[in-house]
Structure 1
Amino acid sequence: MLTLRQIEIIRAIMVTGTISGAAKLLNISAPGISRLMKYTEDMVGVPLFNRRHGRYVPTPEARNVFDLLDNIHRKVEDLQTSIDRLGSGEGRELSFASVPSIANVMVPRAVEQVKRRFPDIKLEIDILKIEQSIDYLLLGRGELVAISSRFDHSIIDFAPLATGRLVCIVPPSSELAAKTSIRPWEIASHMLIGIDPNDPYGRIMTEIFRREQLSYSMNIKTRFGTTVCSLVAAGLGIAVIDEFTVAHGMLPGVKVLEIEAETTFHTYAAYRNDTPLSVYAEALIELLRAEMKATSA
């Protein structure tokens, strides 16, 4: 059976009419082509070319073979084109979602890396609350959700992304802005802005108060962490927020204080376990994990 290399060389001689032309077309040595051509003819048992006036002309016996070889070569080229398109993401779309805290800074940085790796891929990105992620995945709207907590579900698995921590944000004009760190009881003594504590994300933000049995007053509640940050920047109170929302100084107008307590929480990529992830979704998880780990290091 002829190898793809033999098919490639036979076709190159047929197209160029010379050994030297075939060598230039394939960017290999002419003696190498001559040796492989002789070996191929010995294997086939009949000459494939006649030499006339320094050019190689297909023999009558081989013309039908050459037509078949040309078809094979075109199919191989089509296969290579499809592989190249797969590698660049051309004609493909990756749909995924993220909770707001990860979507604000981490997702754009990871998406930039995805586009560098697969420059032609199309992306559709949704922003969801944690409780919306089940329907999003089960209805097949996207492949994965970057999420800040996990839950038990028979169809949904969770790949760890990174361990984060909570921080306290205060207005630059606040007397607290002179501090670099703050204790939970000090936070609880101020009016807070935050997410509803009954919300899954809100529970993460207020866990430090429950753990230390501290009473607190949340006079402004909102749905998203970015809104919390804007309200703090406006001087309306202080807040506990996750570090990913305020990473890399992307939300100016607030002073970030370390919290002198255990505040770690875990983030995940949620996805259906009954459907394999695409290579693009796997790459997104890998790159998002790297960005988040670098932030929390």
Structure 2
Amino acid sequence: MNLRQIEVFYAVMKSGSVSGAAKLLHVSQPNITRILAHTELQLGFPLFHRHKGRLIASQQALALLPEAEKVYRQLGSLQSLTCKLQKGHSHLRVGAPPVLSTSLLPPVLANLCKHSAISAEISTGNQDELCNALLENQLDFAISFGQVAPPRLTSQVLKHTEMVALLPTDLPCTEYAISIASLLEIAPIIGLDARDPLGMAVKQSILHHRPDHQFQLSVRSYSTAAELVMQGMGIAIVDPWTAQNYRDKLTVRPLSEPLPVSVSLLFADNSPLSSTANQLIDLLRQCLSEPPIVNSELSQF
């Protein structure tokens, strides 16, 4: 199969129809049908069975799909690199978890754009998604929670801080700095995705107090955890930036047993940072040197 045939096959598998593939690839349906027929003729086996106007993937097609996905990802990485080279070093592709992409990156990027002619893309994702995008050359660098980087990626800590507790405003709480044990007695704690560095830290801290603990609710997004707290569904332990966004709606308390949070810079070992990227990183360091507003408020409590 050549690249065009793989592209058509993958589009049909993902969309489930010839018309859907045609829309994805911006070509006509007869063109998709012709390429599929020619591909099946070359291969000597059917990729799809036709039943009442629907396409049903054959066993051979299902076996080919994982390898086609690999090729498709590599092609996307090549296209991303080509685009980067065309635009030069003035174009930045930055990744971050949702809370940092909405609270930390926008003002820093706005500051940089005011003083230089750059273009930028911001992508959001969890730790695994950001790392994969870096390895596939879809990002120039990412900022993320945690300090550990997988092979072929470099991690540099930009800031150390601590997680805080979010409680409903009508929940009685006489303690200023509150312990995990006390939180467990007050209300259920909303779990964060254990694949995330912060989620794992919260889970391990709770299991230290209650080895058999099971979360009633678990979420992937810190803001979703905060919204559930607002609905009276429990307590959340989150990063300071999420807490800052909800400080006027919820009660924020530091933890008496601190849970450290690191914000780190991630980039691929084989992809040196451009001068423009380093400019943005310097601005990020300056911004992170100032604590989130909620931390300042807690220190004066």
Whether contact under 8 Å (2:145, 2:262) holds in the other structure is yes
Asked whether 1:145 is paired with 2:142, we answer: yes
Letter in 2 for 1:164: T
Whether contact under 8 Å (1:130, 1:201) holds in the other structure is no
What is the CA-CA distance between 1:108 and the residue it aligns to? 2.1
Whether contact under 8 Å (1:169, 1:255) holds in the other structure is yes
Asked whether 1:276 is paired with 2:278, we answer: no
Asked whether 1:158 is paired with 2:134, we answer: no
Question: Quick one: distance in 2 between partners of 1:109 and 1:180?
Answer: 31
1:116 aligned counterpart, secondary structure: helix
Structure 1 125/173 Cα, relative in aligned 2: closer, same or farther at 3 Å? same
More displaced stretch, 93-102 vs 149-158: 149-158
Residues 182-221 of structure 1, C-alpha deviations (whole Å, 9 max, x = no match): 1110112221223133543310233432445566442221
Structure 1 110/215 Cα, relative in aligned 2: closer, same or farther at 3 Å? farther
Question: Quick one: distance in 2 between partners of 1:179 and 1:186?
Answer: 9
What is the CA-CA distance between 1:96 and the residue it aligns to? 0.7
What is the CA-CA distance between 1:260 and the residue it aligns to? 0.5
Question: Quick one: distance in 1 between partners of 2:140 and 2:89?
Answer: 17
What is the CA-CA distance between 1:111 and the residue it aligns to? 2.0
Aligned residue runs from structure 1 range 13-162, under 5 A: 92-118=90-116, 120-162=117-159
Structure 1 221/213 Cα, relative in aligned 2: closer, same or farther at 3 Å? closer
Question: Quick one: distance in 2 between partners of 1:107 and 1:214?
Answer: 38
Question: Quick one: distance in 2 between partners of 1:295 and 1:216?
Answer: 33
Question: Quick one: distance in 2 between partners of 1:108 and 1:132?
Answer: 20
Q: Which residue does 2:70 correspond to in 1?
A: none
* Structure 1 residue ranges without an equivalent (≥5): 1-88
Structure 1 184/91 Cα, relative in aligned 2: closer, same or farther at 3 Å? closer
Structure 1 226/94 Cα, relative in aligned 2: closer, same or farther at 3 Å? same
Question: Quick one: distance in 2 between partners of 1:250 and 1:125?
Answer: 23
1:246 counterpart (243, 247, 259): 243
Q: Which residue does 2:284 correspond to in 1?
A: 288
What is the CA-CA distance between 1:98 and the residue it aligns to? 0.3
Question: Quick one: distance in 1 between partners of 2:120 and 2:277?
Answer: 11
Residues 68-108 of structure 1, C-alpha deviations (whole Å, 9 max, x = no match): xxxxxxxxxxxxxxxxxxxxx99932111002342231222
What is the CA-CA distance between 1:112 and the residue it aligns to? 2.7
Aligned residue runs from structure 1 range 204-219, under 5 A: 204-212=201-209, 216-219=213-216
TM-score, scaled to structure 1: 0.62
Q: What is the aligned-residue identity percentage?
A: 18
More displaced stretch, 121-130 vs 216-225: 216-225
What is the CA-CA distance between 1:231 and the residue it aligns to? 1.4
Q: Which residue does 1:183 correspond to in 2?
A: 179
Question: Quick one: distance in 1 between partners of 2:277 and 2:260?
Answer: 26
Structure 1 291/143 Cα, relative in aligned 2: closer, same or farther at 3 Å? same
Letter in 1 for 2:279: A
Larger radius of gyration: 1
Question: Quick one: distance in 2 between partners of 1:285 and 1:152?
Answer: 18
Asked whether 1:200 is paired with 2:183, we answer: no
Question: Quick one: distance in 1 between partners of 2:284 and 2:89?
Answer: 23
Considering only aligned residues, what root-mean-square deviation do their CA atoms show, in Å? 2.5
2:215 aligned counterpart, secondary structure: strand
Question: Quick one: distance in 1 between partners of 2:289 and 2:202?
Answer: 20
What is the CA-CA distance between 1:152 and the residue it aligns to? 4.4
Q: Which residue does 1:226 correspond to in 2?
A: 223
What is the CA-CA distance between 1:159 and the residue it aligns to? 1.8
Q: Which residue does 1:69 correspond to in 2?
A: none
Letter in 1 for 2:169: P
Aligned residue-pair number: 206
1:191 aligned counterpart, secondary structure: coil
Whether contact under 8 Å (1:104, 1:226) holds in the other structure is no
1:97 aligned counterpart, secondary structure: strand
Question: Quick one: distance in 2 between partners of 1:229 and 1:93?
Answer: 34
Structure 1 280/166 Cα, relative in aligned 2: closer, same or farther at 3 Å? same
Structure 1 274/124 Cα, relative in aligned 2: closer, same or farther at 3 Å? same
